[in-house]
């Protein structure tokens, strides 16, 4: 009961902050997390309001339903029409959340002296990565604006290098214990990030290590899991939650708060090594705790999050204050860590290019374990168990539904294939911000009855969804982040003996042996994607051969047990190196 009361206070403070900082974003996040509630209401709102209405509720409803074209049309009407003052300011915030920057700027120009104009301008500058400009834009604000300014200033300070600091402790580590600091985790988040973390820790535990995971301050209450407990145990792995009743008001202060909380846990658990993952704020916290305890620490680079951020904003973002400082902080924590772990050769090359010695980097590729090691069953059996139609051919993916995954190109390819293959179905497993727009795209093409969107599925059903497919597709866009970061789900598909068709990008070439276990096609080319898929759908023997080759290679080269063994060897080396330095 005490934990629930603390969670309630924490949730209230988080919601209150979002209401001040970005209420539109708060609504859209709620719509994504509560689609069964929000989307039916949104459809009613859209039907009730006139076609040319530019009222805030109908535009928000269009966005939450995935009707982005309708939302854009209405926002353009507002920008070209008589809307002014505070209504224009509210619509500018909505346009900004929808990524319609020119429309947002046009509406801000019409906002005059609207009450919330300074906050809106700060959000617009922050979106572009002008951190200092966003903070300055709130000069002379009222009380709410000053609170927003303090929060932005705290985050800007972290990007500029402000980091937590702790006093040195008398500490005796226990050999063979590792403490992981994670951004999110099972059972509350079912992302590839969470699954990789869990798989690594299960393998470490099975190899004899003492393992404890600690998640970031405020998680998972911050993402709407209000009934979260202080501890979860999944497959024998213990997850500790840092859930105070209140968070410090600014990001720099919260990192200090998190470091102090993590230090208390570490003093109890007594690890011999700390291990954390991107992005750099995790590294800052773990660095402070490791220095206080006098033990080595590991930084695992799982993505290029600065590039992920820039990918949604265009080429100019790479020259922004935020991007430059983001990259500098990532380089700083990689330099300070005792060991850097990453996913593949493309990512290692980027890390070396940032000035990190190659001998300090170990590759622990995305891999498989558990049920994926078992012999996969047939597609019809998997579909029957999942309650899916057993007949026909299935193409699709298991993925986070985000723009850079290129699932809009997969849907276009599916539309081209549909007349040729009357029994072909599209199966998309997963959830994400792009989900509503993808569903709307399928409806607009008249293919809703042949497409299956499962949303988020239970973790233990993931192998069955892989087995339900005849062909796994990874149609990623050609971006800096997708060229470097190797995804997990295609590896699971290969372990399931399913051939993979993917975009011809360096990171995917590390997984897909073109012509061996799958085929590569140019990114953002639905016509070529459809042609390649068609050729494989017409050749069941080749699909089976590719599936066998893919599974054999994964079992030989990409298992979590092998990763755990390699990491254990490097952990032991770190301990000896640290003793020599001390």
For 341, counting Cβ atoms within 10 Å of its Cβ (0-12 exposed, 13-18 middle, 19+ buried), the class is: buried
385 and 502 co-located in one domain: yes
Identify whether 578 is part of a domain. Answer: no
Identify whether 161 is part of a domain. Answer: no
276: which strand partners?
181, 299
Structural domain ending residue among the three candidates 331, 363, 395: 363
> What three-state secondary structure class fits 100?
coil
What is the mean pLDDT of the segment spanning 456-464?
94
107 and 202 co-located in one domain: no
Query: What is the full DSSP assignment across 509-555?
Result: HTT--BTTTEEEE-TT-HHHHHHHHHHHHT-HHHHHHHHHHHHHHHH
Better-predicted residue by pLDDT, 417 or 579: 417
What is the mean pLDDT of the segment spanning 235-261?
96
Residue 438 sits at the vertex; the CA angle it makes with 540 and 413, to the nearest 5 degrees, is 35
- Residue 26 clears pLDDT 90, i.e. is over it: no
What is the mean pLDDT of the segment spanning 278-291?
97
What was the pLDDT predicted at 581?
54
Identify whether 201 is part of a domain. Answer: yes
519: which strand partners?
501
306 and 417 co-located in one domain: no
- Residue 574 clears pLDDT 90, i.e. is over it: no
Identify whether 375 is part of a domain. Answer: yes
> What is the side-by-side order of every strand in the sheet holding 424-429?
451-455, 424-429, 393-398, 471-474, 500-503, 518-521
For residue 355, give the CATH number of its domain. Answer: 3.40.50.2000
| CB-CB contact of 213 with 242 (8 Å) | no
pLDDT band at 2 (very low <50, low <70, confident <90, very high): confident
pLDDT band at 578 (very low <50, low <70, confident <90, very high): low
291 and 386 co-located in one domain: no
Identify whether 163 is part of a domain. Answer: no
441 and 410 co-located in one domain: yes
293 and 328 co-located in one domain: yes
What was the pLDDT predicted at 577?
62
342 and 213 co-located in one domain: yes
Check residue 54 and report its DSSP letter: -
Lowest mean pLDDT among 27-41, 107-121, 205-219: 27-41
Q: Which among 146, 119, 150, 338 is positioned nearest to 253, based on CA atoms?
A: 150
351 and 212 co-located in one domain: yes
- Residues contacting residue 261 through CB under 8 Å, at least 6 positions apart: 217, 242, 244
| CB-CB contact of 127 with 139 (8 Å) | no
pLDDT band at 297 (very low <50, low <70, confident <90, very high): very high
478 and 552 co-located in one domain: yes
When computed from its CA atoms, the radius of gyration of the chain, rounded to whole angstroms, is 25
- Residue 459 clears pLDDT 80, i.e. is over it: yes
Q: Which helix (H) or strand (E) holds 417?
A: helix 407-417
> What is the side-by-side order of every strand in the sheet holding 210-215?
231-234, 237-240, 210-215, 177-182, 273-277, 297-301, 339-342, 361-363
Identify whether 239 is part of a domain. Answer: yes
- Residue 203 clears pLDDT 90, i.e. is over it: yes
| Distance of alpha carbon 215 from alpha carbon 223, whole angstroms | 13
User: Tens of pLDDT along 157-198?
Assistant: 999 999 999 999 999 999 999 999 999 999 999 888 999 999
What was the pLDDT predicted at 391?
95
387 and 437 co-located in one domain: yes
- Report the sign of the C-alpha dihedral through residues 476, 399, 35, 219, in that order: negative
Identify whether 7 is part of a domain. Answer: yes
Q: Which among 546, 539, 538 is positioned nearest to 520, based on CA atoms?
A: 546
> What three-state secondary structure class fits 581?
helix
Tell me the pTM: 0.93
Domain total for the chain? 3
Domain of residue 280, residue span: 177-363
Structural domain ending residue among the three candidates 328, 363, 398: 363
Structural domain ending residue among the three candidates 363, 389, 418: 363
Identify whether 229 is part of a domain. Answer: yes
What was the pLDDT predicted at 314?
84
318 and 376 co-located in one domain: no
206 and 353 co-located in one domain: yes
User: Tens of pLDDT along 120-150?
Assistant: 999 999 999 999 999 999 999 988 899 999 9
- Residues contacting residue 102 through CB under 8 Å, at least 6 positions apart: none
- Residue 579 clears pLDDT 60, i.e. is over it: no
């Amino acid at each position: 009961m005490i934990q629930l009361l603390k969670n309630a206070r924490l949730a209230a403070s988080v919601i209150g902050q979002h209401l001040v900082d970005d209420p539109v974003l708060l609504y859209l996040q709620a719509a994504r997390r509560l689609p069964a509630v929000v989307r039916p209401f949104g459809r009613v709102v859209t039907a009730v309001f006139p076609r040319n209405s530019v009222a805030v509720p109908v535009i928000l409803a269009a966005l939450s339903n995935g009707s982005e074209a309708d939302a854009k049309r209405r926002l353009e009407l507002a920008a070209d029409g008589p809307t002014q003052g505070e209504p224009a300011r509210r619509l500018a915030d909505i346009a900004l959340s929808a990524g319609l920057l020119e429309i947002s700027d046009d509406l801000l120009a019409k906002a005059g002296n609207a009450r919330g104009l300074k906050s809106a301008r700060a959000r617009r500058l922050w979106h572009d990565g002008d951190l200092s400009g966003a903070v300055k834009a709130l000069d002379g604000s009222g009380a709410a604006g000053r609170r927003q300014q303090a929060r932005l200033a705290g985050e800007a300070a972290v990007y500029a290098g402000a980091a937590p600091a702790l006093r040195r402790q008398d500490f005796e580590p226990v050999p063979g214990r590792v403490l992981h600091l994670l951004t999110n985790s099972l059972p509350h988040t079912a992302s590839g990030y969470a699954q990789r973390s869990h798989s690594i820790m299960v393998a470490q535990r099975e190899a004899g290590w003492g393992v404890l995971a600690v998640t970031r301050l405020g998680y998972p209450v911050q993402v709407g899991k209000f009934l979260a407990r202080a501890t979860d145990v999944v497959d024998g792995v213990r997850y500790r939650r840092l859930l105070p009743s209140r968070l410090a008001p600014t990001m720099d202060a919260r990192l200090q708060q998190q470091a102090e909380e993590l230090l208390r846990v570490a003093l109890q658990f007594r690890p011999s090594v700390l291990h954390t993952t991107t992005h750099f704020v995790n590294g800052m916290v773990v660095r402070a705790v490791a220095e206080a305890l006098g033990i080595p620490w590991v930084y695992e680079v799982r993505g290029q999050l600065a590039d992920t951020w820039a990918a949604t904003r265009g080429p100019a973002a790479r020259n922004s204050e935020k991007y430059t400082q983001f990259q500098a902080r990532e380089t700083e924590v990689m330099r300070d860590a005792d060991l850097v772990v990453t996913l593949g050769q493309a990512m290692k090359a980027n890390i070396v290019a940032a000035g990190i010695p190659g001998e300090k980097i170990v590759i622990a590729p995305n891999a498989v374990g558990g049920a994926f090691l078992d012999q996969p069953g047939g597609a019809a059996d998997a579909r029957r168990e999942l309650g899916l139609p057993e007949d026909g051919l299935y193409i699709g993916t298991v993925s986070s539904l985000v723009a850079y995954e290129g699932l809009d190109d997969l849907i276009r390819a599916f539309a081209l294939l549909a007349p040729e293959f009357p029994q072909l179905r599209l199966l998309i497993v997963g959830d994400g911000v792009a989900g509503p727009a993808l569903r709307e795209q399928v409806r607009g093409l008249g293919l809703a009855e042949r497409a299956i969107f499962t949303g988020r599925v239970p973790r233990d059903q993931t192998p069955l969804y892989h087995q339900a497919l005849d062909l796994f597709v990874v149609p990623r866009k050609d971006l800096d982040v997708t060229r470097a970061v190797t995804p997990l789900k295609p590896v699971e598909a290969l372990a399931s003996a399913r051939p993979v068709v993917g975009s011809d990008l360096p990171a995917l070439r590390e997984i897909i042996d073109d012509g061996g276990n799958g085929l590569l096609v140019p990114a953002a080319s639905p016509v070529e994607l459809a042609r390649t898929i068609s050729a494989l759908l017409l050749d069941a023997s080749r699909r089976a051969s590719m599936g066998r080759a893919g599974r054999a290679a994964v079992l030989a080269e990409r298992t979590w047990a092998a990763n755990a063994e390699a990491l254990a060897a490097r952990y032991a080396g770190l301990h000896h190196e640290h003793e020599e330095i001390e």
